[in-house]
A = this chain, B = another copy of it.
Amino acid sequence: MAVTIRDVARESGVHVSTVSRTFSAPHLVNAETRTRVLAVAEGLGYRPNRAARALTTGRTHNLGLIVADIANPFFPPLIKAAQAQARERDYHVFVADTDEDPLLEQELIETLCKQVDGVLLCSPRLSNRVIERLRAQVPFVVVNRRLKGLTTVLMDVGQGARAAVEHVAGLGHRRMALLSGPAGSWTSGEMRQAATDTAAEHHMELSVLGPNEPTEHGGLAAAGAVAASGVTAVLCYNDLVALGLIEGLRQRGLGVPDDVSVIGVDDSLPGRLSRPKLTTITMPTAAAGRMAVDLLLATISGSAGTAGPAPHTTARLETGLVIRESTQRVSSP
């Protein structure tokens, strides 16, 4: 096996507890001793075993991060930011992909929860009921899902959707469609609500088409319905759906933005790099990842002190509309 605390203790002529303290409570040990122990540890290549430490402290210094689909470009920036923030705080993070499957999501939470101090649930597809039950086992922070009594980080996509509809209304469009996302998605519900309200305010006709698979295939598959509906503008669940839709429209001889204006959500890499560049609702994914980690860590240290119910916060992050090339003034109103 590897070098343990005992090896360091023997080598430096002190008791194991002194070595332990050198690492977990340095101020409690004589500066001279500390230096010596540190030197020996360095020389031996000693690294504290975090699992063993977790056994006594009850803190694993690990976090779980559960997402619906790592390959969906919405998530990588969030994952990247979350693990960077966690590392900053001396935490490591397990990343797990649920493949958009609620059952797998639950299963993952349950197996992971014994190994982590808390879990970050991003855009969960799980029912509120199940989440409620699970939260007894491990502290949660949920991203993009509203849940009473739980700490949540919300990206205010409603605000972006409102701006999007107004943008399109200002361009003279009178009939638009909303390509909604997966049934369990909070984001999709928010978008629908905001879009419906705003469309009404502007006396626009809005058709909701969906649910759609949150990928380019979903958008491609919806192209027929969009074409048939005769709308001149479409707000899509995300950039991928928008990009797929644009492709499908093109296959039907419909150009974007000439014949139809299309708006996505996420401001993802593919949208930025595509032609026409996608008009899209920006989502503060990196900020959400960092904030979620900080809130989770706060919840964790908080729940250690008090026996009462965990404190809960709702952080609401702003979204915005980036107008690029996939929207333009309606040609035939």
Residues of A within 8 A of B (CB): 1-2, 45, 47-52, 54-55, 58, 60, 62, 69-71, 73, 75-77, 79-80, 83-84, 87, 92-97, 99, 108, 110-115, 137, 216, 240, 243-244, 247, 269-270, 272-276
Contact = CB atoms under 8 A, between A and B. Distances in A.
A137 B77 CA distance: 31
Contact of A115 (B50, B99, B243): B50
Contacts of A243: 273
Q: Which of A60, A92, A240 has the most CB of B within 10 A?
A: A92
A315 B45 CA distance: 32
18 contacts: A1-B58, A2-B137, A47-B110, A47-B111, A51-B54, A52-B55, A55-B55, A62-B94, A62-B115, A70-B76, A73-B269, A83-B97, A92-B112, A240-B269, A247-B273, A269-B270, A270-B274, A273-B274
Contact of A96 (B75, B87, B99, B273): B87
A272 B115 CA distance: 38
A109 to B, nearest CB: 11
Given A50-B115, A274-B275, 11 more contacts: A47-B114, A51-B51, A51-B52, A62-B94, A71-B76, A84-B97, A92-B112, A94-B95, A216-B272, A240-B269, A244-B273
Given A115-B92, A273-B243, A274-B274, A60 B70 contact: no
A248 to B, nearest CB: 12
